[in-house]
Amino acid sequence: MVCGREARTVKKHVAAKRGEETVYGEVKAQNETKNEDSAGRRRFQHLACCLGILCVILLGGIIGVCVYRVQELNSRNQELEKNNNILTEKIQDMTTNRNELNISRAQWSIDSYCRQPDNKKCQPCQKGWTLTEPSCYAYNDAQPPKQKTWEEARGDCRGKNSDLAVAHDSDEKEAINTNSFGSNGFWIGLRVKDGKWKWVDGSDLTESSWIVPPADGRCALFYTGRNTWSSVSCGATHQWICQQKALSV
């Protein structure tokens, strides 16, 4: 009997211990679950905090970029306005200078054509120029070392509101020859450009028999009494003939 009671007691003790272990396991599992949930919440909170900080940083960056762009645009607008004012002033200055130049040219024309001491009316050519309708010619018979290259001679003519003489036809060619003098050659407005003989007004020479075939670096030289022109280096120095349209009087 005693052994039976002891056995039952042992069984009860074992069952109670197992129950305690089961309860402990469940509590432990619940605690672990709570700990995991708590750790998850903390991680979520940390993540949310980081995301919030990142959003603040991004927002600050966007605001900074917008402020910078606004300042840059304002700076560019100010620079454009400044450049516009400068351009406006330059246009005004150019307009004023052009008006003054036109007045000066008009006065020059009056002085050159209408105030010649030997005449009581305006003349078709200014003093020192020879009229052969419809143009006026100036024969610049400079002697060495005052003779000029072709380019220098043209520059001299253009400074006198004229250009080197041209002859598109036989009449204009004869006009150049009519009042020529001396035995020295005179530059005229004909040179080789793009493999062709071209006049200073951009037109091509149409009468090829007047001069030899074109060669690079060559310009035309006129000699009194000759029916043809000479092809010489444009860098040589010679006298020159200027031509301008005669004034209608």
pTM over the 0.75 mark? no
Domain end call among 73, 88, 103: 88
Domain boundaries, position 27: 1-88
Structure tokens at 14: 């074992």
Own/partner pairs, 129-134, CB within 8 angstroms, 24+ separation? 129/244, 130/179, 131/246, 132/175, 132/178, 132/179, 133/246, 134/245, 134/246
In a domain, 103, yes or no: no
Per-residue pLDDT reduced to its tens digit, 4-50: 565 566 555 555 566 555 655 665 556 666 666 676 777 778 787 88
> Rounded CA gap, 152 and 142, in Å?
13
The reply to whether 158 and 222 lie within a common domain is: yes
Per-residue pLDDT reduced to its tens digit, 149-172: 999 999 999 998 899 999 999 999
The reply to whether 58 and 154 lie within a common domain is: no
In a domain, 31, yes or no: yes
- Predicted confidence (pLDDT) at residue 103 exceeds the cutoff of 50: no
The reply to whether 77 and 183 lie within a common domain is: no
Domain end call among 35, 57, 88: 88
Which tops the pLDDT comparison, 149 or 76? 149
The reply to whether 135 and 241 lie within a common domain is: yes
In a domain, 117, yes or no: no
Range with the poorest average pLDDT among 15-19, 35-39, 75-79, 212-216:
15-19
The reply to whether 137 and 235 lie within a common domain is: yes
The reply to whether 166 and 72 lie within a common domain is: no
Q: What is the mean pLDDT of residues 111-124?
A: 65
Burial class (CB in 10 A: 0-12, 13-18, 19+), 109: middle
For residue 151, the domain's CATH number is 3.10.100.10
In a domain, 119, yes or no: no
The reply to whether 134 and 84 lie within a common domain is: no
The reply to whether 137 and 239 lie within a common domain is: yes
- Predicted confidence (pLDDT) at residue 214 exceeds the cutoff of 50: yes
> Rounded CA gap, 103 and 97, in Å?
10
Per-residue pLDDT band for 95 (boundaries 50, 70, 90) equals low
> Rounded CA gap, 55 and 240, in Å?
83
- Predicted confidence (pLDDT) at residue 234 exceeds the cutoff of 90: yes
The reply to whether 8 and 84 lie within a common domain is: yes
Structure tokens at 174: 């004869």
The reply to whether 135 and 35 lie within a common domain is: no
In a domain, 220, yes or no: yes
How many domains in the chain? 2
In a domain, 213, yes or no: yes
In a domain, 208, yes or no: yes
**Bridge partners (DSSP) listed for residue 135:** 132, 245
Considering the chain, what is the average pLDDT of its residues? 80
Residues 6+ apart with CB under 8 A from 240: 140, 142, 148, 153, 154, 156, 157, 164, 186, 187, 188
Instruction: Indicate the length of the chain as a whole number.
Output: 249
**Hey, how many other C-beta atoms are within 10 angstroms of the C-beta on 22?**
10
In a domain, 84, yes or no: yes
pLDDT > 90: percent of the chain? 33
How is residue 40 annotated by DSSP? H
The reply to whether 54 and 138 lie within a common domain is: no
Which tops the pLDDT comparison, 193 or 19? 193
| pLDDT value, residue 107 | 47
- Predicted confidence (pLDDT) at residue 212 exceeds the cutoff of 60: yes
| pLDDT value, residue 119 | 59
The reply to whether 155 and 236 lie within a common domain is: yes
Per-residue pLDDT band for 192 (boundaries 50, 70, 90) equals very high
> Rounded CA gap, 180 and 219, in Å?
19
Domain end call among 32, 67, 88: 88
The SS3 assignment for 124 reads: coil
